[in-house]
Amino acid sequence: MRISLEWLNEYIDVSREEVLEKLPKLGFDIDDNGPVFPINGPIVIGKIEKVEKHPNAEKLVICTVNIGSEHRTILTADVSVQTGKYVYVALEGAKLANGVEIQKREMRGIFSEGMLCSLEELGLEEKSEHVYTTDEELPLGEDVIRLLGLSDWYIEMEITPNRPDCLSYFGVTRELSAGLKRTPRFPIPSVKAAGNSKVDIEIKTDGCWRYTARVINNVKVKPSPMWLQKRLIASGLRPINNIVDITNYVMLETGHPVHAFDLSKLAGRIVVKDANPGEKMLLLDGKTYEFSGGEVLITDGEKLLALGGIMGGEESGISETTTDVLLEVAMFDPVRIRRTSRKLSVSSDSSYRFERGVDFDDALYVIERLSELIQKLADGEPSAEIVDVWKKKLQQKVIFVPKHFPKKVIGIEVKHIGEYIEPLGFEVEETKDGYQVYVPSFRYFDVSIPEDIMEEVGRIHGYDNIHAEPPRMLAIEKGRSQIQKLRYELKQLLTSFGFNEANTLSFTSSKLIEKFEINGKGLPVSNPIISDFDTMRPSILYGLLESLSYNYKRQIKDIRLFEIGKIFNLKNGKPFEEEALAFVATGRESVNDYTDKRNVSFYTFKGVIDEILLRFGIKAQFEKYSKKGFIPTRCALIKTHGKDIGFIGMLEPEIADKLYDVKDEIYVAEIYLEKIYESAKTQKTYKAIPQFPYIRRDVSYLIPIGQEIAGILEIYKSNPLVEEVGIDDIYRQVGEGYYSVTIYAKFRHPERTLSDEEVDIAIEDIKKQIKEKFEVNPRF
C-alpha cells in the first residue's frame, strides 16, 4: 500500500517522521519512502511575451519569457507556444522528473536560459505532447513546486494478507489514531439526490454476497482536477478521467473496490451469475478471457459487463461520451475471487482487496461518498434510489475476553481494554468477568478469538513497552550437553573477534554450485518451493556470501559474518549431514581505529583458527591447498591427525565480482566440527609461572621463493630448550629468487638459568639441521 503523506493529513495530523517511526511499531514494515515528484527548483511561473522563429533551425522557436524579476531567452521545440500564455519555467540548476538537469546551453548559435516544462517533466502526466500553457493569470516568478503542492512524500507499506482493512487511507488512519492517540477526521458524505432512476438487481450466484447500485445522470466526463490527479499519482495510480479517477480514489480511501458502468450500454438491469464454460469477454486490460465455468460475472441479462470483483469489461466502460453512470459497490466471496484470479492469471487492485476480504457493511457509505464526489467533480445528478440486494448476510462477531486475559497472554495489567482497541473501530462493553468485544465489519475476516483481541492490545500498548519475563520452568534437565557447550564457546569466541552471527537458509541453487563448487554438489530437492533453492547446501559459505553481498551492495563495506549449521552431501551414494562452522569477511581489520589501515587478510583468518584450535587444545597443520575458485597462494588446508578438518582461502576476484558483485578481497573459512568436538580437550591444564628468564635469539635466513617455512619452524620446536618460536620479519628484496625471513626463538630451562654458551650451541645445532634438510643458510 503506497500512501501520500499530504492525502493522509486530510484524515489525521501527522508528520513524516511520526509515520515512519510508528507504523513499524504497529506491525507494518516500511518498504520504501521518498518524494512523490522527484523534482528540484528553481522552477517558476513565467509568461511568454514574444515568440520568434529560430534563424538556424526550422523546428525551434525562441521565446522571451517574463519570470517576474527578469526576462529570459528560452528555446523550445514546441512550435505551438503562443504569446501571452503562462508557462512553467525550469531555470539553470533545476532537476526534472525524468532526471534531466537544466543547464544554460547553446542551440544552433543561440543560448537557451532554461526550459519550458510539460506536465510529464513535472511528474504530473505519463506522456505529454506539448509544453504546458494556460490563460489563467498566475503570479510571475512564483515557485511552481510550492504553488502546485509538489513537495508530497510517499510511504510504501507492506500489508500482511490478514489486514486488508489497511489497504486504505481509512485503515492506516485508524492505526495511527490508536498508536498516536489522536482524533481522526473521516468525511461524512453529503449528497443532493433527485429523481428515482434505478435498475433492477438479481443475484443468481453464491459468489456475490451483496450488490449495491445507484444511477447518476448527466455526468460530464473530463480530466480530474489537479489535486485529485496528484493524490492518485502519489498512491501509484494513473489518472484517466474524472469518473474513473473518483472510483479509484474512493477505493484507496475506504479500501472497498467499486466500479462505474456506462448506463447507456446496459439493458436496464443487472444480473450477477456464474460463468458458463466457453463464455468469453474482453476486459479493460485489452485481453479476451475464456471462462471454464464458476467465475462470477456481472451481466445485464443479455451481455457480459464485468468479471466480478476483478475487472470491468471493455464494452461497458466509461468513455468521453458517457452521460449516465451506474455505480456498483459489491461484496464477493473472497475464495471465489482468489480462485478465479489464479485460474485466469489476471490480477487487479480490486481482486487484491476482494480476495483478502473487504468491509461487508460499508456499501451505503461508499456509494454515498462516490455520489458526493461525482456530483462535485462531474456535475452528476445522483438518484434518490439506492438498490441494495443481499444474497448472504454476515453477522457481526462478538468475542468475550476475560479480565485476566491481558496479564495471562501478553503480561500486562490493563484498566480497560477499550482504551486500546476502541480507536481501531472495536466496541467494548464491560461485564462482571470480562469484556464483550464487538468486532468491526472491516475486521470480520481477521479477528475471531480472544487471542486476536490481545494481539491488538499488545500492538497499541507497544511490544517494546512489554517487560520481558523468563518463562517459569522446573529445572529437571541437566543443562547443556558437552557438544552444546563447545558450540556455545565457539560462538562466543567468534563474536569476540568481531564476527556477527548469521542464520541463512539450508538451501542453495544448483546453478550456483555449477559455477562455484566449494564442497561437493549437495543434495537435490525433489520439489523445491523456489527454483533457486533446489539443493540442500553442501557448504554454509553459499548463504554467508549472499549475506555479505547483500550488505556490501548497500554500502556496508566492513563485514564479518559467521554461522554454525548443518551441511549436506552424498557419501558412498547415501545422503549424510554434518555440522560445520563457516565465516567470511571483507573490509578493514579494525573498523573503529582510523590509524589502522590494514584490511582483513589470510593471516586474520589463520589467527582466528589458531585461537579456536588453541582454545580446544587441538594441534593442527596448515598445508598448501589448490582449490578452484580460490587464489592458490592464499588458500590452505587444515589438518589434524592426518585428517582434513577444513580450509581457509581468498575468493578469486572474478568470482567475487561476477557472482557476488563485491570488488574487494573476500576471505572465507569452513571447519567441519565433528572432528573438533571429538578432539577437543575440555579439561584445562595449568603449569607454574617460569622462575628463570629466557634468552632470545633472532636469525635471518635466505629462503628461496616458494619454499614453505613450516618445516624450519618444526626443527626449532624439536629442540627441548625452545619455549617459543615465530617469524619476526620478512624482507622480500634480497637477491634474485630469495627473500629474507627473520625467525625468533625463546630458550628457557625450567630448573635453572641458561648460559649464553648453551643457547649458542642450541642455535648452531638448529642452523645445521636446517641446512642439511632444506639447504637454507643464515643471511649473515
Alpha-carbon distances, residue 453 vs 402, 429, 439, 659 (angstroms): 11, 14, 9, 47
CA angle 77–80–81, rounded 5-degree value: 85
- What's the CA dihedral at 81, 87, 92, 97 to 10 degrees? -100
Q: Give me the amino acid identity at 293.
A: G
Q: What is the C-alpha separation between 496 and 689, in angstroms, rounded?
A: 27
- What's the CA dihedral at 610, 614, 618, 623 to 10 degrees? 20
Instruction: For residue 101, say whether it is annotated as part of any ligand binding site.
Output: no
DSSP 129: S
What are residue 330's phi and psi, to 5 degrees?
-120, 165
Name which of 338, 354, 346, 360 is nearest 439 in CA terms.
Answer: 360
> Pairing relation of β-strands 500-501 and 559-571?
parallel
Asked if 30 contacts 75 with a C-beta cutoff of 8 angstroms, the reply is no
Asked if 83 contacts 49 with a C-beta cutoff of 8 angstroms, the reply is yes
Q: Give me the amino acid identity at 702.
A: L
Instruction: For residue 455, say whether it is annotated as part of any ligand binding site.
Output: yes
Strand order in the sheet with 434-438: 398-402, 434-438, 427-430
Instruction: For residue 456, say whether it is annotated as part of any ligand binding site.
Output: yes
In DSSP terms, 583 is beta-bridged to: 562, 669
Q: Give me the amino acid identity at 279.
A: E
Q: Give me the amino acid identity at 736.
A: E
- What's the CA dihedral at 24, 423, 349, 379 to 10 degrees? -130
Alpha-carbon distances, residue 302 vs 212, 265, 305, 309, 753 (angstroms): 20, 11, 9, 20, 113
Q: Helices 756-774 and 710-718 sit at what angle, rounded to 10 degrees?
A: 140
DSSP calls for 59-118: EEEEEEEE-SS-EEEEEES-TT--TT-EEEEEPTT-B-TTS-B---EEETTEEE-SEEPP
Q: Which three cell numbers stand for residue 143?
A: 515557485
Q: Which residues are annotated binding-site positions for Mg(2+)? A: 446, 452, 455-456
Q: Which residues are annotated binding-site positions? A: 446, 452, 455-456
